């Protein structure tokens, strides 16, 4: 079993939204094999609590605009680890310390990476 096209498209929308708000170290994992109810985990790092909240809010807004329904949101008040559950896609927006501490990449290391297309800013290409 592999992630559905819908799950991958949702991850791409979320990744672009996270990138627009300064999200770092974006990784999408195809977790459809071990977790039959979820296709993709998107992991994102924010620099501080305010950045984590802004990233999570932007992701939620863009996915809602694209017609996807949020099933659950947790951690928004503290903004150290915000979880957004959109069914096929679960987004984890971490503060840097929480990302290292919980190490979800290590827990899901056997899952394939879903490629994300994030445009390179013009100034970075120079």
Q: Please name the residue that has the structure tokens 């979820």.
A: 38
Contacts of 28 (CB under 8 A, 6+ apart): 8, 11, 15, 40, 41, 42, 43, 113, 114, 115, 116
HSE value, Cβ hemisphere, 13 Å, CA-based, for 121: 5
Domain spanning 5-118: CATH 3.30.460.10: yes
Which pTM does this prediction carry?
0.91
pLDDT in tens, 57-78: 999 999 999 999 999 999 999 9
- The span from the CA of 90 to the CA of 87, in Å, is 7
- pLDDT category of residue 124 using cuts at 50, 70 and 90: very low
CA angle 82, 20, 30 (to 5 degrees): 55
pLDDT tens by residue, 79-88: 999 999 999 9
- Quick one: pLDDT band at residue 121, thresholds 50, 70, 90? low
Question: Which pLDDT value is given to residue 69?
Answer: 95
Domain residue limits, the chain: 5-118
How many CB atoms within 10 Å of residue 8? 19
Per-residue pLDDT at 123 exceeds 70: no
Distance, CA of 30 to CA of 55 (rounded, Å)? 21
């Amino acid at each position: 079993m592999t992630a559905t096209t819908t799950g991958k498209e949702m991850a791409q929308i979320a990744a672009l939204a996270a990138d627009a708000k300064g999200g770092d170290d974006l990784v999408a994992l195809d977790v459809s094999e071990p977790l039959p109810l979820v296709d993709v985990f998107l992991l994102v790092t924010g620099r501080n609590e305010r950045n984590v909240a802004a990233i999570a809010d932007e992701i939620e807004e863009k996915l809602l605009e694209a017609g996807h329904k949020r099933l659950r949101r947790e951690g928004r008040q503290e903004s150290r680890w915000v979880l957004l559950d959109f069914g096929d896609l679960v987004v984890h927006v971490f503060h840097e310390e929480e990302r290292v501490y919980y190490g979800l990449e290590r827990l899901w290391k056997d899952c394939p990476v879903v490629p994300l297309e994030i445009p390179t800013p013009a100034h970075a290409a120079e």
